[in-house]
């Protein structure tokens, strides 16, 4: 049974939540330049990249259209790097030049560079809980730390504290603090993967979706 997202799913989710990216241009005969750009995921995984019309990078792409865009990566990776040719396309943003990126490579960058097979990247879908995850994880941490700690201890961990660090359609990932360090534990959703929080089993769904503690947090 699959209990966690594939690298391709993690990469597509990172792209889907990104609104800004770093664009690196240049080639063998040209110095490399870094530019901040706007980015939009697309259903086929070929994102749209938007540059200010006045950016000198527009001229660079006209000369050498292959470049790399980087967005924040899923832990433990620091970035997702997408490389390929940029094709100019019609822009619906005043003052911006828009490009569609056709991928030659996708890599998750951390202590090492991990390639994501392009077929898997294009076929994967962003996690359906990605928009709800930040608020749900924060709520678990501030309102249900004791319940999570009891749950982890019931699984045999001699835990001193627990920090929720990822929520996805397969389950919840926890950082478990023990006497000699930190380990990772996943609580998979029974019957998962799910498409929304309403499909999560009753006990955990109550923790993820309840409004307890909101009054004290927001007087």
Strand pairing category for 79-89 and 30-40: unpaired
Taking alpha carbons only, the member of 154, 146, 218, 212 closest to residue 187 is 154
15 Cβ contact partners less than 8 Å away, ≥ 6 residues apart: 39, 41, 45, 47, 71, 80, 82, 126
- Within 32-190, residue ranges assigned H as helices are 56-63, 118-123, 133-143, 145-154
- pTM of the entire predicted model: 0.89
Tell me if 82 sits within 8 A of 40, measured CB to CB: no
State the Cα–Cα distance between residues 9 and 196, nearest whole angstrom.
16
Domain ranges of the chain: 7-123, 133-214
- How many angstroms separate the most distant Cα atoms in the chain? 61
In CATH terms, 133-214 corresponds, of 3.20.180.10, 3.20.20.140, 3.40.50.300, 3.40.50.1820, to: 3.20.180.10
Return d(Cα 81, Cα 72) in angstroms, integer.
9
- Is residue 62 classed as helix, strand or coil in its secondary structure? helix
Fold annotation for 7-123: Pnp Oxidase; Chain A (2.30.110)
Query: How does pLDDT run along the chain (219 residues), one tens digit per residue?
Result: 788 999 999 999 999 999 999 999 976 666 788 999 999 999 999 999 999 999 999 999 998 999 999 999 998 999 999 999 999 999 999 999 999 999 999 999 999 999 999 999 999 999 999 999 999 999 999 999 899 999 999 999 999 999 999 999 999 999 999 999 999 999 999 888 999 999 998 777 878 877 675 444 443
3-state helix, strand, coil in the chain (%, to 5): 30, 35, 35
Distance (Å, rounded) from C-alpha 219 to C-alpha 207?
21
Residue-wise burial string across 94-126, b where 16 or more C-beta atoms lie within 10 A, e elsewhere: eebbbbbbebeebbbeeeeeeebebebbeebeb
């Amino acid at each position: 049974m699959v209990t966690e997202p594939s690298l391709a799913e993690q990469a597509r989710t990172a792209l889907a939540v990104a609104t800004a990216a770093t664009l690196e241009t240049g080639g063998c005969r040209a110095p490399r330049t870094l530019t901040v750009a706007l980015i939009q995921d697309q259903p086929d995984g070929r994102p749209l990249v938007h540059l200010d019309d006045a950016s000198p990078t527009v001229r660079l792409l006209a000369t050498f259209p292959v470049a790399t865009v980087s967005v924040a990566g899923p832990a433990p990776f620091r970035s997702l790097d997408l490389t390929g040719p940029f094709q100019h396309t019609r822009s619906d943003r005043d003052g911006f030049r828009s490009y569609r990126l056709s991928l030659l490579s996708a890599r998750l960058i951390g202590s090492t560079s991990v390639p994501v097979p392009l077929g898997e990247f294009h076929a994967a879908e962003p996690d359906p809980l990605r928009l709800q995850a930040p608020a749900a994880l924060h709520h678990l941490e501030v309102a249900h730390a004791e319940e999570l700690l009891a749950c982890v201890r019931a699984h045999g961990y001699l835990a001193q504290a627990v920090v929720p660090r990822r929520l996805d359609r397969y389950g919840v990932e926890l950082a478990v603090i023990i006497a000699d360090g930190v380990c990772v534990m996943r609580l998979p959703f029974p019957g998962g993967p799910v498409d929304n929080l309403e499909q999560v089993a009753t006990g955990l769904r109550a923790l993820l979706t309840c409004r307890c503690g909101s009054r004290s947090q927001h007087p």
